[in-house]
Amino acid sequence: MKLRPIGKKFTIKTKTSRFDRLVARYYPAVYSLASRMTDDPRQAVVLAHDALERTRKRLGNRRDETAFASILIAAVIRMGLTTA
């Protein structure tokens, strides 16, 4: 992490992981699916978070975005069915 001066202010420069970028891209769809399955916003957040965590563990070092999306959606559906 580097601190870079901008005028009189400092910003923190961090590296964003590829997984974090994928999460940012797919989270709205994951949350939407989870909320439709649960009808409870709080439970949908938990379901989406758990599905993303399972996907991160299962994905490993794969670089295929299609694999990420399909594993993620399957995790949401599988976990949503167990909570229903």
Identify the residue with better confidence: 17 or 6.
17
3-state SS, residue 12: strand
46, amino acid identity: V
**65 Cβ contact partners less than 8 Å away, ≥ 6 residues apart:** 22
Domains of the chain: 17-83 (1.10.1740)
> What pLDDT is recorded for position 42?
92
Instruction: Dump pLDDT digits (tens) for 20-35.
Output: 888 888 899 899 988 9
Alpha-carbon gap, residue 6 to 2, rounded angstroms: 12
> What pLDDT is recorded for position 11?
46
| Residue 15 binned pLDDT confidence (cut-offs 50, 70, 90) | low
What does the buried/exposed string (b/e) look like for 41-64 if buried means 16 or more CB atoms within 10 Å of the residue's CB?
eeebeebbeebbebbbeebeeeee
